[in-house]
Amino acid sequence: MFKFKKNELNKKKVQGNVSAKIIFLSGVLIIFVTGVASTFYFKQRAEAKEREELIKISDVASAAVNFRRLTSLEGNDEDLKNPDYQRLKEQLILINESLKSFNAQWIYLMKNENKKWIFSVDPLDENSPDYTAPGTVYEDYPKDLDLIFQKNETILVGPYSDKWGSFISAFSPIKNLENGEILGVLGVDIDAKILELNVWKSIALPIAISFFALILWVLFFIYRNKKNKHEKEIRSKEEQFRSITETIDDIIFRMDLKGQIIYISPSVENITGFLQEEVLKNNFIDFFPSLEYPKTEELFERIFQGEKVGPLNILANCKNGKKIQAELDIVPIQEDGKILEIQGLIRDVTQKKENAEKIGKQNEELKKSQTAILNILEDIEEEKENVAKERDKINAILHSIGDGVFVVGADLKIIMVNEVTSKISGYSSSELIGEKYDKVLKFIFEKNEKENEEFIKEAIKTGETKEMANHTMLIRKDGNRLPVADSAAPLKNKEGKVIGCVIVFRDVSKEREIDRIKSEFVSVASHQLRTPLTEIKWFSELLLENKKSKLSKEQQDFIKEIHTGNERMISLVNDLLNVSRIETGKKFEIEKKKTDMIKLIKEVIKEQTNEAKNKGIEIVCDAGHPSELFLNVDENKIRQIFQNLLSNAVKYSSKGERVIFECEEEKERATFSIKDSGLGIPKDQQSRIFEKFFRASNVLMTGAEGTGLGLYIAKSIVEAHGGKISFESADKKGTTFFVSLPKI
């Protein structure tokens, strides 16, 4: 009996264990199925939300595009000069910056021409490897993009792949607001991987096996976290929406189904004078005159009936009591076919209406003037004959000039050439006329062979004659390089507006050869002069230092004069050698080392102090300079620069005046200045101040000694250090020289 009961208990225990296992496994299965189903559900929901937000963002961004600017584009490289292209590109850059937190990869404008999609505007930098030029055909575009003409609204395409990667894209039509025609599309791309949800993140399944109640809490916690994350994403998208609307000149608003405004862009203040806080939470209809109520009510009725409506012309109130002409465009924000909010755009078209009225009046005036114009046409025919005669005269003059001459228009296309240009370049006039000059007549720098076009562009831009840079080469048709020189002068109409440019150039091969021979002669002559001059210096110093010499006082004075004159000759020969080295590039080496510039400057000032005192001149070093300033320079050559500049300042200043030495330290450069109140440099001679052997006319009249080489050498040394030397001067009011040196 006991044994039977024991077996019965064991049997029930086994049955209970089996039932527990079944319940446990059933629970695990239910939890697993529930987890998989919920994961799939949340994945689909999040993906749908992301797609809806992408469409909303694309709609708002496309509303910012001015369709008239898009129609002005030609679809080729000429668009890069079009102000409308630059404005559209700036807007896309701003929008793209706003969408970075939304993970947008690309934003661009396209047109459909001859059943091909071509790129119109790409905000990327032109040097970017992913940059797409205007007019580029989108070869492997997603074919669903063509559906935009059927649906006539923003479409979502993807995932799809092209040569740039795998994307999901929103394409919004850019419409002509006057007739509804689709002019192009705004594309916003995001990486397709962004929308993939990781269904294996759930940590609920392992915990559910051991503790079912805890798993329920974990699932709830995961759900709550996902909900919070989604709410943050929604808030983030709202902020993105706000950042986009703040870059748009038009008023962007949102309102609830009661007509209460829940968001309005800051541009409302610029257009109406109302502050954002004055508009928010007020009824939308309150900002329109009462006579416009029927229009707005009808518009909203049509929206709620599911109709698509275009912009509505309407009057809007301003804070100062005035009214503006406006276009009102609204769209419903829907979810699951249910309207949640209303979003809209208000554009101020007052100026547009006024312009239209002005154009109407002008048309009337034109009709009245038609008869008078017909009479004027007779005079124009006569004037044409006179112009033709003048053109023949100009051609005769042009072809008689011995230098190469060609004329370009404002678009830089050649409109006139003379025979010398064809002879020098190797191109016939028919090959030149009508072409952009830099496609055929290429001017390059001799040193680095980079294109030299600034002197032509600057002449057109500034309206002033610009010299061609030294060592400019022309690439002939046969590929040979030819040294050329001269200038570009602006071509102006009667109103003084620059309409083109006249470029004059000549073959300077012979001049270059003469300069080379001259430089070699100076170098040889200078080297030959150094030996006898050194001997004279040595012997004159020997005579002066010999205390046992029986030379009379007068004889000693003569020897001192010989010694002084010899020193000047040695200085001149050294300057000539420096010039020769600079021009030939031989032995003119810069040996840089870390140098305390403040110490060097004080030493130079000390060297000039006696000369300054003898002339009654005070040398002042600005007290605001740093205690030390180390630069990587050739100490001897930099010392030579400051010695020359300070010596000149003392030499050309009058008794009682001051020479001021200043130093200004910047992040990347240090600038030193030497200011005097002396003779100054005549304005008409300032452009030649750094030329070899040049001395200003007012200096020559003083009889002061000098070779005219110091500033030429100083400029060469500064530029060899990667620096810049400049000056400011007024006739008889002193001069300030500036030496700017890099800190690295």
Residues 705 and 618 in one domain: yes
Residues 477 and 523 in one domain: no
* pTM of the predicted structure, to 2 decimals: 0.33
Residue type for 395, please?
A: N
- Starting at the earlier edge strand, list the strands of the sheet with 116-121: 116-121, 104-113, 182-191, 165-175, 155-162
- The answer to the question of residue 415 being in a domain is yes
Report how far residue 339's alpha carbon sits from residue 256's, in angstroms, rounded to the nearest whole number.
Answer: 10
Three-class secondary structure of residue 673 per DSSP: strand
- The answer to the question of residue 378 being in a domain is no
Q: Which is higher by pLDDT, 35 or 124? A: 124
Residues 215 and 286 in one domain: no
Checking if the pLDDT of 20 tops 50, the result is no
Find all residues with CB under 8 Å of 606, minimum gap 6, and list them.
none
Final residue of a domain: which of 248, 275, 304? 248
What CA–CA distances, in Å, run from 431 to 417, 427, 453, 477?
A: 11, 6, 20, 10
Task: Read off the pLDDT of residues 379-423 as tens digits, 9 standing for 90 and up.
Answer: 555 665 555 555 555 665 666 676 888 999 888 999 888 888 888
Q: Taking residues 335-340, what's their average pLDDT?
A: 80
Give the model's pLDDT for residue 166.
Answer: 84
Residues 565 and 655 in one domain: no
Which of 218-232, 342-356, 711-725 is least confident?
Answer: 218-232
Domain limits for position 500: 401-507
Checking if the pLDDT of 3 tops 80, the result is no
- The answer to the question of residue 128 being in a domain is yes
Please give the distance of CA 685 from its chain centroid, rounded to a whole number: 35
SS (H, E, C) 360-391: HHHHHHHHHHHHHHHHHHHHHHHHHHHHHHHH
pLDDT confidence band for 243 (50 / 70 / 90): low
Cis peptide upstream of residue 134 (ω within 30 degrees of 0): no
Task: Read off the pLDDT of residues 22-51 as tens digits, 9 standing for 90 and up.
Answer: 554 554 456 566 655 665 666 667 667 777
Report how far residue 62's alpha carbon sits from residue 175's, in angstroms, rounded to the nearest whole number.
Answer: 9
Residues 603 and 704 in one domain: yes
Output the domain CATH number for residue 573. 1.10.287.130
Checking if the pLDDT of 200 tops 70, the result is no
710-720 vs 553-584: helix axis angle to the nearest 10?
A: 40
- The answer to the question of residue 405 being in a domain is yes
Instruction: Give the N- to C-terminal CA distance of the chain in Å, as an integer.
Output: 105
Q: CB of 147 within 8 A of CB of 108?
A: no
Residue environment code for 594-612, b if the CB has 16+ CB neighbours within 10 A, otherwise e: ebebbebbeebbeebeeeb
- DSSP string covering 511-555, please? HHHHHHHHHHHHHHHHHHHHHHHHHHHHHHHHHHH-TT----HHH
Residues 127 and 52 in one domain: yes
Task: Read off the pLDDT of residues 673-731 as tens digits, 9 standing for 90 and up.
Answer: 999 888 888 887 888 888 876 777 666 555 455 566 778 888 888 888 889 999 998 76
Which of 356-365, 419-428, 640-649 is least confident?
Answer: 356-365
Task: Read off the pLDDT of residues 606-631 as tens digits, 9 standing for 90 and up.
Answer: 888 888 888 899 998 876 778 888 99
Residues 37 and 159 in one domain: yes
Residues 83 and 216 in one domain: yes
Give the model's pLDDT for residue 194.
Answer: 65
- The answer to the question of residue 116 being in a domain is yes
Task: Read off the pLDDT of residues 142-182 as tens digits, 9 standing for 90 and up.
Answer: 888 888 888 888 888 888 888 888 888 889 898 887 888 88
- The answer to the question of residue 4 being in a domain is no
Looking at the structure of the chain, the number of domains it has is 5
Checking if the pLDDT of 202 tops 50, the result is no
Final residue of a domain: which of 507, 539, 566? 507
Final residue of a domain: which of 551, 584, 617? 584
Per-chain mean pLDDT for the chain: 76
Phi, psi of 393 (to 5 degrees): -65, -45
Residues 212 and 266 in one domain: no
Phi, psi of 182 (to 5 degrees): -80, 115
Q: CB of 420 within 8 A of CB of 441?
A: no
Quick one: which of 342, 170, 362, 347 has its CA closest to 260?
A: 342
Residues 220 and 256 in one domain: no
Residues 604 and 553 in one domain: no
- The answer to the question of residue 9 being in a domain is no
Q: What letter does residue 90 receive in the DSSP assignment?
A: H
Give the model's pLDDT for residue 36.
Answer: 57
Q: Taking residues 229-236, what's their average pLDDT?
A: 70
Residues 253 and 243 in one domain: no
- The answer to the question of residue 332 being in a domain is yes
Give the model's pLDDT for residue 486.
Answer: 80
Report how far residue 538's alpha carbon sits from residue 547's, in angstroms, rounded to the nearest whole number.
Answer: 16
Output the domain CATH number for residue 152. 3.30.450.20
Residue environment code for 264-278, b if the CB has 16+ CB neighbours within 10 A, otherwise e: bbebbbebbebeeee
Which of 162-171, 539-548, 657-666 is least confident?
Answer: 539-548
Give the model's pLDDT for residue 724.
Answer: 93
Please give the distance of CA 283 from its chain centroid, rounded to a whole number: 44
Checking if the pLDDT of 539 tops 70, the result is no
Q: CB of 735 within 8 A of CB of 678?
A: yes
Give the model's pLDDT for residue 140.
Answer: 85
**Sign (positive/negative) of CA torsion 622, 628, 632, 633?**
positive
Checking if the pLDDT of 337 tops 60, the result is yes
pLDDT confidence band for 2 (50 / 70 / 90): very low
Which of 79-93, 366-380, 458-472 is least confident?
Answer: 366-380
Give the model's pLDDT for residue 223.
Answer: 63
Checking if the pLDDT of 282 tops 80, the result is yes
Share of the chain above pLDDT 70, in %: 70
Please give the distance of CA 565 from its chain centroid, rounded to a whole number: 57
Output the domain CATH number for residue 721. 3.30.565.10
pLDDT confidence band for 582 (50 / 70 / 90): low
